[in-house]
Amino acid sequence: MIKENFSNIKLTSARKSILDILINSSKPLSYEDIKDKISMDKATFYRNITIFEEGNIINSFESNDKKRYFEIKRVAHSHFICSSCSKIECIHKEIEMKLDNHQIDTIIIKGLCCDCLNN
């Protein structure tokens, strides 16, 4: 799915670096998570992220901590964000939600994760 979206995007070394990190991650990552792994200024990072979003290669969403998180667009899934510790978990169970005359792109569920619930 990722390769077919690259027909109009030149794969520079900066873009390849970002994609490699996102592809190899099991969870969504913020700029702060990624910046320690690559040498790239913030403007270059976000310019490339915008290209990936417009090319339908990645998803992004904002968490409780007001940070934007990014992940490779794979199988559609939802996210659980802990209201207490801001931990993000991918939910791969199907959640069916339909609204007439609407297209749902993202479902984010907020609540307490099992660690915070037990504390």
> Per this entry, what is the length of the chain?
119
**Is 82 marked as binding a ligand?**
yes
Distances in whole angstroms, Cα of residue 90 to Cα of each of 12, 25, 56, 69, 95:
29, 12, 19, 12, 12
**Is 96 marked as binding a ligand?**
yes
- C-alpha torsion angle, residues 76, 70, 4, 75 (rounded to 10): -20
User: Rounded to whole angstroms, how far apart are CA atoms 58 and 1?
Assistant: 11
- Give the H/E segment covering residue 60: strand 58-62
Token pair listed for 54: 């417009």
**Is 85 marked as binding a ligand?**
yes
Residues forming the annotated binding site for Zn(2+)? 82, 85
Binding site, annotated residues: 82, 85, 96
List the binding residues for Fe cation.
Answer: 96
